[in-house]
Amino acid sequence: MNVNIYYGGRGLIEDPAIYVINKLTEVLKEIRVNVVRYNLYEEKNTIAMLPKTLKEADGVILATTVEWLGIGGFMHQFLDACWLYADKEHISKLYMLPVVMANSFGEREAELFLIRAWEMLGGIPYNGLRAYVEDHVDFETNSAYGQIIEKQAELFYKAINQKTKILPAGNAVIRKNLLRTNSIDLTPQESEQLSMYVSDDTYVKKQKEDIEELAQIFKGMLGSRESDSNQEFIQNIKENFQVLNDFKASYAVTITDTGKTLVIEVDGNNLKCFYGEKNNADVTAKTSYEVMNKIVNGHMTIQRAFMSGELTAKGNFKTLRTFDQIFQFNIQ
């Protein structure tokens, strides 16, 4: 028989949880149980790989210390990894003994959390050991407490050996009907391989670099598109500009589809064309992207667009008519 112990505390000498799991280990080894202990604080960089060690076990002990509230981050990480990468079919056969020691309030809640988490994973929780420990020396030297721990180790062994049945819990229904992830359905072997990649810092770093590189590429593509959008129509307008001596005027054409305003300023043989704002333009107009596209590609004059109602304008209408003289677009 194999029992794995996963210790989620910080490894402090005065941690009473260490005393308890040492006592459990002694008893289990006396009855010829192979016990393997994993200190999560030592395995913090490879916690994602630990669920594969469950395959070697017939039972597990989850041990942690409540220092101020809850079970602590290392145990949370381990349980998360079990949810993501463990072989759920094998977990369904595993008995779990929770061990929770506290030097502040919350040992009952922490034990209940471990039990509920193991039930959600599909495993079989067993009655655990929990205690509030004010003085770890008094606790460890109390023979009555030691006998309770020893007795619990023997009962846990019997439960695993005899495959003790337990009554069904409602968490099984919740797990089946509500906790359905949207992730890819992976085999246990694929999950184990994925956990190895997740634990490989070099691999994760490379993946982050690749993602960042792709993000930069897409950002560049989007920036290029935005840049193209900001230059739209401007090139055609500049290429088809016809100088009209002593003519000076400004146009502000709002393209309603995009919400941008195309500003055209003419001063003799000088032309400025850009997207922006101009409140005091000689002519302000509004039209759609489709109509503006027809105008700059020579399929429609601005005068015709105005007369048909496809373009609205206000300001100096003589200046509006002159637009077709200084911009003679070739049909494209």
Tell which residue, 127, 97, 119, 100, has the closest CA to residue 111: 100
Find all residues with CB under 8 Å of 152, minimum gap 6, and list them: 24, 97, 127, 129
What are the residues facing 251 on neighbouring strands? 264, 283
Domain borders along the chain are 2-199, 201-230, 234-326
Scored b (16 or more CB within 10 A) or e, 237-250 reads: beeebeeeeeeebb
Q: How far apart are CA 213 and CA 77, in angstroms?
A: 29
* Cα separation values, 286 from 240, 253, 262, 308, Å: 21, 6, 10, 13
**pLDDT for the residue numbered 23:** 96
Stretches where the chain sits below pLDDT 70 are 170-204, 218-230, 332
**pLDDT for the residue numbered 182:** 46
| Residue 197 near residue 206, CB atoms below 8 Å | no
- The β-bridge relationship of strands 283-287 and 311-315 is antiparallel
For the entire predicted model, the pTM comes to: 0.59
| Residue 233 near residue 262, CB atoms below 8 Å | yes
Q: Residue 122 in 3-state DSSP?
A: coil
Burial class (CB in 10 A: 0-12, 13-18, 19+), 142: exposed
Q: Which CATH homologous superfamily contains domain 234-326?
A: SCP2 sterol-binding domain (3.30.1050.10)
**pLDDT for the residue numbered 201:** 63
The H-or-E segment that residue 128 falls in is: none
Find all residues with CB under 8 Å of 271, minimum gap 6, and list them: 237, 238, 241, 264, 265
The tokens describing 110, both together, are 């922490």
The tokens describing 191, both together, are 């999950």
**pLDDT for the residue numbered 236:** 86
Find all residues with CB under 8 Å of 83, minimum gap 6, and list them: 120, 121
Scored b (16 or more CB within 10 A) or e, 12-41 reads: eeebbbbbbbebbbebbeeeebebebbbbe
Topology of the domain comprising 2-199: Rossmann fold (3.40.50)
pLDDT digits (tens, 9 = 90+) for 229-282: 567 788 889 988 998 888 999 999 999 988 899 999 999 889 999 999 988 999
DSSP string, 236-305: HHHHTB---TT-EEEEEEEETTTTEEEEEEEETTEEEEEES--TT-SEEEEE-HHHHHHHHTTSS-HHHH
